[in-house]
Amino acid sequence: MTHFSKNQKITVVGAGLAGSECALQLADLGYEVVLFEMRDKTMTPAHKTAKFAELVCSNSFGSMGEHSAPGQLKWEAQKLNSHILQVAYEAQVPAGQALGMDREVFSALITERIKNHPRIEIRNDVVSSLDQIPRPAVIATGPLTHDSLAESMRQHFGDEFLYFFDAIAPIIDADTINTDIAWKADRYDKGTGDYYNCPMNKEQYNAFIEEIQKARKIEPKDFETTDFFEGCMPIEVMVERGPQTLRFGPMKPIGLDDPRTGRYPWAVVQLRQDNKEATAYNMVGFQTRMAYGEQVRVFRMIPGLENAEFLKLGSIHRNLFINSPKRLNKDLSSKNDPWLFFAGQITGVEGYFESTCTGLMVSRFLDQKLKDKPFSPPPRESAFGSLLEAITDPTRAEHFQPTNINFALLPPLPEKERDKEVRKKKQITIARSALESWVN
């Protein structure tokens, strides 16, 4: 096996969430890092700026709930001194139980932190081949990897990548929300009343669904045979599964009583604050591939959004990911090259914060390897360990699909527990104990 010295520079390709976290962690550990980011010269179909860790799809890292799986992942990341999590709290905006951020503030702070780190060298170049970068290296280019590098990866792994759509939800000018209709509340009043809720009765809902079905869609030919990820599915694809699907998904009204009636409506569209100034709100779960003009027409049918001005309309782009259980080792290095590591969505995790956590893990795995320490992954009982297991378990290779962190990934309790809430609390307790032992 090739050995590298502590003074050896480590190459990280991609300054998204995973790459930024990985580069900062490695630099903190004392390594010299060369961070490649192409976006100063070459933009992707989805990014709008050249700033690092730009949030494209949503401005939320998901639940912070103490007894939720995403909340546990954040608890563990905090114990591991995640830079991305620290900055997320600095850029936080009200979002109920979720960790929402001001996109511009967040990416600006991460960019500043990276540019000011004395051990990180930034290179704004396109990496077009795996052969052009020295080892050790971490590829964290995300779902929008440059075509030439994606082709190089395909040749490296010897089989086709897997593709799926990712879709972006529209963002609305807060001043154009009709607050005579839309009211602020969180589901079951569990948060601090941060979401705007736009109610629909049965007739309005049915008319809305009909117009979604009739609206013109943008369907690029390259994407026609690919699948959508369940957690980021366009609303029109959900509607194809049945006209009531949205009422049991992003338009679920349960726990949102309309103050004008004292009851929850037939359906609800929720809007989540998108920036610190509260001048922009995004439509929760309303990813779409409808044509821009159609989006404006259809979404203005929503009560409370009759005069909505859209700061950003929904769009779709292609994602790619490796069949990690088949092609990567447990430490997220390539089975064909043990000094070539992968992190972020390209490994088959789905979700901003899950991507971040793989970057954090890879920094630790590389450090272990460079110091000739035995491989020590996060414990299986932890959220980190469960996420790692989900993307490296060989039994998942045949039907591998991207995954968010969820309780189904955590190991079941040794004893049967029928009460779901009690079961979750016990799993969290076990996860925290295991993670703390590993950190110490």
**pLDDT confidence of residue 418:** 81
Q: What mean pLDDT, rounded, does the chain reach?
A: 89
Radius of gyration of the chain (CA): 22
Could you report the per-residue pLDDT of 53-97, keeping only the tens digit for each? 888 778 889 899 888 999 999 999 999 999 999 999 999 999 988
**Is there a binding annotation on residue 262?**
no
Pseudo-torsion of CA 333, 316, 61, 340, nearest 10°?
10
**Is there a binding annotation on residue 193?**
no
Could you report the per-residue pLDDT of 390-435, keeping only the tens digit for each? 999 999 888 788 888 988 899 888 888 888 889 899 999 999 999 9
Least confident of 245-249, 273-277, 349-353, 387-391: 273-277
Q: Categorize the per-residue pLDDT at 51 as very low, low, confident or very high, splitting at 50, 70 and 90.
A: confident
**Is there a binding annotation on residue 18?**
yes
227 pLDDT higher than 70? no
Q: Which residue has the tokens 């404006």?
A: 296
Domains of the chain: 10-164+321-439 (3.50.50.60), 170-313 (2.40.30.260)
**Is there a binding annotation on residue 167?**
no
**pLDDT confidence of residue 193:** 84
> What does the alpha-carbon distance between residue 332 and residue 82 come to, in Å, rounded to a whole number?
19
Mean pLDDT along residues 232-255:
92
**pLDDT confidence of residue 289:** 87
> What does the alpha-carbon distance between residue 210 and residue 215 come to, in Å, rounded to a whole number?
9
Is residue 194 a contact partner of residue 186, using CB atoms and an 8 Å limit? yes
> What does the alpha-carbon distance between residue 284 and residue 295 come to, in Å, rounded to a whole number?
15
**Is there a binding annotation on residue 88?**
no
Six token digits for residue 318: 């292609």
**pLDDT confidence of residue 231:** 63
**pLDDT confidence of residue 223:** 39
DSSP code, position 263: B
Provide CB contacts within 8 A for 45, sequence distance 6+.
144, 315, 317, 318
Identity of residue 209: I
Q: What percent of the chain stands above pLDDT 70?
A: 90
Pairing of the two strands 267-273 and 280-283: antiparallel
**Is there a binding annotation on residue 280?**
no
The continuous run of DSSP H or E covering 367 comes out as helix 352-370
- The more confidently predicted of residues 168 and 103 is 103
> What does the alpha-carbon distance between residue 152 and residue 194 come to, in Å, rounded to a whole number?
45
> What does the alpha-carbon distance between residue 18 and residue 145 come to, in Å, rounded to a whole number?
13
Tally the C-alpha atoms within 13 A of residue 353's C-alpha that lie toward its C-beta. 31
**pLDDT confidence of residue 86:** 98
Pseudo-torsion of CA 153, 397, 370, 158, nearest 10°?
-30
Q: Categorize the per-residue pLDDT at 1 as very low, low, confident or very high, splitting at 50, 70 and 90.
A: very low
**pLDDT confidence of residue 113:** 97
Q: Categorize the per-residue pLDDT at 226 as very low, low, confident or very high, splitting at 50, 70 and 90.
A: low
Could you report the per-residue pLDDT of 266-302, keeping only the tens digit for each? 999 999 998 788 888 999 999 898 999 999 999 999 9
Least confident of 165-179, 244-258, 346-360: 165-179
